[in-house]
Structure 1
Amino acid sequence: MPTRILPAVGDADAVRSITTLLSQLPDAEPVAPVVDSTQLVDTLARLAAESVDELPEVVVVHERIGPVPALELIREVALRFPAVGVILVTSDPGPGLFQAAMDYGARGLVALPLSYEELASRVQAVAQWSVGVRRHLGSGEDVFTGVGGTVVTVGGAKGGVGATLTAVQLALAAQASGRPTALVDMDLQAGDIASYLDVQFRRSVVDLAAINDISPRVLADAVFRHDTGLALLLAPGEGERGEEVTDRAARQIVSALRSRYEVVVIDCGAQLGGAGAAAVEMADAALLVTTPDVVSVRGAKRAVRMWDRLQIRKAEETTVVVNRHTRGTEIQPALIQKITGTPVAGTTVPANFRELQGAVDAGRVHELDSKSTVKQALWALAGELRLVKAPEGEGHRKGGGRFRGDRGSVSFRRRRDGGG
């Protein structure tokens, strides 16, 4: 079977040089080159919409591609099209750039001026990797083979505002609608998802931290299949082991999950470390849960400003969710939006802990009564975020949220690393 290779090269002379060499490779099938980052992502998206099998096995990215820088473009391709192997062509093949390219998701690096032998070797290795990934992705019953699942992070303005309950119910809503869903506990030192769902499991997110290439089988061994159908990736039982999950490891874990599940919900807790920050930066939507009181809203404002300063996420790309809302409180969503400078979800969660207490104390929040106003609100929030599969026959805009290019109340950002 020929290897389909898509060159992404902006320079006319480099296009001729690369395409000439690619056409000489054995069993190679170069396709028409693309001239910039936007055309590359659009081309891959169009092919993936037809079928994952239509995607090229290899994409060759020239270092002078634009307008998005080459490394950021590689990250975008790796995140959205995880079965496509990317090779970076560069005049600076030093160890620093090599490590950076690997961190951003490249599968290989080739030095300029191009050598036939080096290019042939890299293309062959990357093509074999791509074929292997596709074979693994096609072997499971619940495998998602789209262009990349939706990742939503949930953080708390401070401890105790309800971030974990929000994350759990959003994931349950998505799974119940028929979308294969993973729920990840990235609150590495104090995660409570296992307690909320009555789970005892020896594997955790730490077991994936030292693995450089997370295959579907390795991922399947690390997750716990809950009775609800959710795939759970839990925080370690020993909080100090959370330090083993670096930001680089978190990126690899989130990428692996995104390639396997339609929806990935990540509970980041209230204390954002390097791993949580990486997850928030990669997410399609980042939620920050607050309660309508001065301390929590100040915490939300502080978190939003910190994320902006550290270039994790801009304020307008973060959505605040108001929990324990009552009409009588002085602090209402409009004021919270003004204070934090962020969008606020149109769905607020009512203050009714009495409904929750029995299920929380029993560790059975997945059995929360469907008549619960809290559950109804959180599942409505899942609809606003477009995490649930709409019933057949309903229009695409039903649900009110904003997904990628759609304009509405909840901001699904266009990623800084090349579009979304």
Structure 2
Amino acid sequence: MPTRILPAVGDTDAVRSVTTLLSQLPDAEPVSPVVDSTQLIDTLARLAAESVDELPEVVIVHERIGPVPALELIREVALRFPAVGVILVTSDASPGLFQAAMDYGARGLVALPLSYEELASRVQAVAQWSVGVRRHLGAGGDVFTGVGGTVVTVSGAKGGVGVTLTAIQLALAAQASGRSTALVDLDLQTGDVASYLDVQFRRSVVDLAAITDISPRVLADAVFRHDTGLALLLAPAEGERGEDVTDRAARQIVSALRSRYEVVVIDCGAQIGGAGAAAVEMADRALLVTTPDVVAVRGAKRAVRMWDRLQIRKAEETTIVVNRHSRGTEIQPPLIQKITGTAVAATAVPANFKELQSVVDAGRVHELENKSAVKQALWGLAAELGLVKVPEGAQKAGRFRGGDRGSVSLRRRREG
């Protein structure tokens, strides 16, 4: 089977040089080159919309591509199209750049001026890797094999604001609507997802930290399949082991999850370390949970400013979720939006701990009743974020409103 190779080269002379060599490779099927980063992403998205099998096995990114820098472009391709192998062509073949390219998701590096032997060797190796990934994905049965799932991180303005409950209910809503969903506990020292869901487990996210190439089989061995259908990747029972999960490991883990699940919800806790920061940076939606009180809102503002300083996330790209909201509080969502400079979710979660206490104490928050105002709000938030697959005509009929939200999910599953 021919290897399809898509060159992304902005320089005219480089285009000529790359395409000439590619045309000489055995079993190669070069695709017409794209000249900038935007055209590359658009081309891959169009092909992926038809079928994952339509994507090229190999993409070659020249160091002078623009307007997005080459490494940033490689990261985006690796995240959005995880079965495509990327090779960086560069005049800087130093160990430092090689390591950076690997961290950003490249599968190989070829030095300029181009050598036929080196290019042929790297293309062959990367093509074999791509074919292997697609074979594993195809054998997964119910595995999602789309362009890339939606990643949502849930962080806290401070401890105790309801991050874990929010993350769990968002994941449950997505799963119940028919989307394959993974819930990840990246609160590495103090994560409580397992306690909230009454789970006894042996494997955790730490088991993936030292693995360079996370295959579908390795990932499947590390996750815990909950009774609700959620795939759980849990924090270690021994908090000190969380230090093994570096930012690089977190990137690889999130990328692997994105390639296999339609929705990935990540509980980052209130203390963001390197792994959590990497997850927030990679997320499609980054939520910051706060309660409507001075201390928590100050914490939210502090977190938003820190993310901006560290170039993790811009304020306008962060969404505040207001938990334990009531109309009588002095601090209302519009004021929080003004103070933090973020977006604020239209759905606020009401203050009603009485209806939560029994399921929280029992570690059975997945059994929270459908009539619960808190559950209705959180599942409404999931719909607002686009995590819920809404049955055709349901929105028009008002079936995803109020207490009927849970019954819609059950009805849909019976009908399926």
Q: TM-score range by the shorter chain?
A: over 0.9
Provide, for residues 355-382 of structure 1, a one-character-per-residue CA deviation record: whole Å limited to 9, x for no partner: 0000000000000000000000000000
With normalisation by structure 1, the TM-score equals 0.94
SS in 2 for 1:7: strand
Residue type matched to 1:23 in 2?
S
Structure 2 CA distance, aligned partners of 1:92 and 1:155?
38
Partner of 1:24: 24
TM-score (norm 2): 0.95
Alignment of 1:25-174 (within 5 A): 25-174=25-174
Distance 1:107 1:273 in 2: 27
* C-alpha distance after superposition, 1:307-326 (max 9, x if no partner): 11111000000000000000
> Is 1:367 paired with 2:367?
yes
Q: Distance in 2 between matches of 1:330 and 1:10?
A: 55
Matched with 1:320 is 320
Render the CA deviation track for 1:96-120: whole Å, top value 9, x for unaligned: 1100000000000001111111000
> What residue is the counterpart of 1:305 in the other structure?
305
Equivalent residue number for residue 403 of structure 2: none
* Structure 1 residue 390 displacement after superposition: 1.6
> What code does the residue aligned with 1:329 have?
T
Instruction: Provide the secondary structure at the position in 1 that maps to 2:60.
Output: strand
Please give the per-residue CA displacement for 1:234-282, whole angstroms capped at 9, x wherever unaligned: 0000000000000000000000000000000000000000000000000
**Number of the residue aligned with 1:237:** 237
Structure 1's unaligned 5+ residue stretches are 401-420
Structure 2 counterpart of 1:217: 217
- The one-character-per-residue Cα deviations of 1:145-195 (angstroms, maximum 9, x if unpaired) are 111100000001110000000000000000000000000000000000000
Code of the aligned partner of 1:351? A
- The answer to whether the aligner puts 1:193 opposite 2:190 as a matched pair is no
Structure having the higher helix fraction is 2
Residue equivalent to 1:265:
265
Gaps of 5+ in 2: 401-416
Asked whether the 8 Å contact 1:280–1:313 carries over to 2, the reply is yes
Is contact 1:324-1:351 (8 Å) kept? yes
Point out the more displaced range, 336-345 or 230-239: 336-345
Tell me how far apart the structure 2 counterparts of residues 292 and 99 of structure 1 sit (CA, whole Å): 44
- What whole-Å deviation, never above 9, does each CA across 1:360-417 have from its counterpart, x for those lacking one? 0000000000000000000000000000002124689x999xxxxxxxxxxxxxxxxx
Partners in 1 of 2:310 and 2:136 — Cα distance?
Answer: 37
Q: Give the secondary-structure state (helix, strand or coil) at the position aligned to 2:161.
A: coil
Query: 3-state DSSP class of the match of 1:349?
Result: coil
CA distance in 2, matches of 1:106, 1:394: 42
Q: Deviations over 1:114-133 (max 9, x none)?
A: 11110000000000000000
For 1:341 and 1:18, locate their aligned partners in 2 and report how far apart those are by CA, in whole Å. 46
State the secondary structure of the residue aligned to 2:343.
coil
Opposite residue 114 of structure 1, the aligned amino acid is: L
C-alpha distance in 2 between matches for 1:266 and 1:25: 43
CA contact (8 A) 1:384 1:399 kept: no
- Equivalent in the alignment of 2:413: none
Structure 2 Cα separation of the partners of residues 78 and 14 of structure 1 = 23
| Aligned residue number for residue 358 of structure 2 | 358
Specify the code of the residue in structure 2 equivalent to 1:389.
K
Runs in 1 of length 4+ with deviation above 4 angstroms?
Answer: 393-396
Q: Measure the CA separation in 2 of the matches of 1:260 and 1:296.
A: 35
How do 1:248-263 residues align onto structure 2 when only pairs under 5 Å count?
248-263=248-263
Q: Which amino acid aligns with 1:391?
A: P
Residues 293-314 of structure 1 show CA distances to partners (whole Å, capped at 9, x for unaligned) of: 1111111111011111111000
SS in structure 2 at match of 1:168 = helix
Q: Look up the SS of the partner of 1:259 in the other structure.
A: helix
The CA RMSD over aligned residues, in Å, is 1.3
Hey, what's the Cα distance between the residues in 1 that align with 2:243 and 2:387? Answer: 30
Secondary structure of the 2:75 match is helix
CA distance in 2, matches of 1:69, 1:369: 49
Matched residue of 1:328: which SS?
Answer: coil
Give SS of 2:220's match: helix
Q: Report the counterpart of residue 228 of structure 2 in structure 1.
A: 228
Partner of 1:338: 338
Task: Judge conservation of contact 1:5–1:28 (CA < 8 Å) in 2.
Answer: yes
Instruction: Give, in whole Å, the separation in 2 of the partners of 1:325 and 1:394.
Output: 27
The amino acid of 2:213's aligned partner reads D
CA contact (8 A) 1:386 1:399 kept: no
1: CA distance, partners of 2:311 / 2:399: 30
Q: What residue is the counterpart of 1:404 in the other structure?
A: none
Against the structure 1 CA distance between its residues 142 and 339, is the aligned structure 2 distance closer, same or farther, given a 3 Å change threshold?
same
How high is the sequence identity, in percent, across the aligned residues?
Answer: 89
- Specify the code of the residue in structure 2 equivalent to 1:132: G
Would the aligned equivalents of 1:161 and 1:289 in 2 still touch at CA under 8 Å? Answer: yes
The one-letter code of the counterpart of 1:94 is S
Q: CA deviation at 1:140?
A: 1.1
**Distance in structure 1 (CA, Å) of the matches to 2:17 and 2:233:** 46
Tell whether the 8 Å contact from 1:383 to 1:399 is kept in structure 2 after alignment: no
Letter in 1 for 2:10: G
